[in-house]
Amino acid sequence: MSSTTEHVEDAAAEGEHHGHDGHVPSDGYFIKIAIILAIVTALETSTYWWPEGAQSWAIPALLIMMAIKFFMIVSIFMHLKFDSKIFSFMFYTGLVLAIFVYMVFLFTFQYFRS
C-alpha cells in the first residue's frame, strides 16, 4: 500500500475529518428548506389563476420568486455558503445577468406598456 493510502486510513481510524464535514447542516435544516422551496413553487404556479388585473404583476413576482429559489438552492444545496467567495460571486453575477437580459427582452417587446 502507498503511504498516502496508509495516512488516510490512519486518519479515518483516529476520527479525523477532511473536507467540509463540519459544515453539513442537520437533516431537519434541509427539510425546512425543502418546505420553503415547495411553498415558493406553489406561489409561482398560482400566478396562472391570478385575476386579469393582477396579470401585469405576474412577471415581476415570478422573477422575485425565481431569484429567491436560485439563491436558496445555490447557497444551501451547492454549499456555496461554505466555499470561496469567488464561486458565490460567479453564480450571483449569472443570476443578475439573466434577470437583466430577460427584463431587456420584456421591455423590447413592450410587455409593461399599459
- 1-19 residue pLDDT tens: 555 555 545 544 554 545 5
pTM flag (> 0.85): no
Q: What is the mean pLDDT of the chain?
A: 79
Q: Report the pLDDT value the prediction gives residue 101, as an integer from 0 to 100.
A: 92
Of 26, 36, 101, the residue nearest 68 (C-alpha): 36
Q: Average pLDDT of 93-114?
A: 83
- CA nearest neighbour of 43 among 74, 73, 65: 65
Span 54-87, pLDDT tens digits: 777 888 899 899 889 988 887 888 777 777 888 8
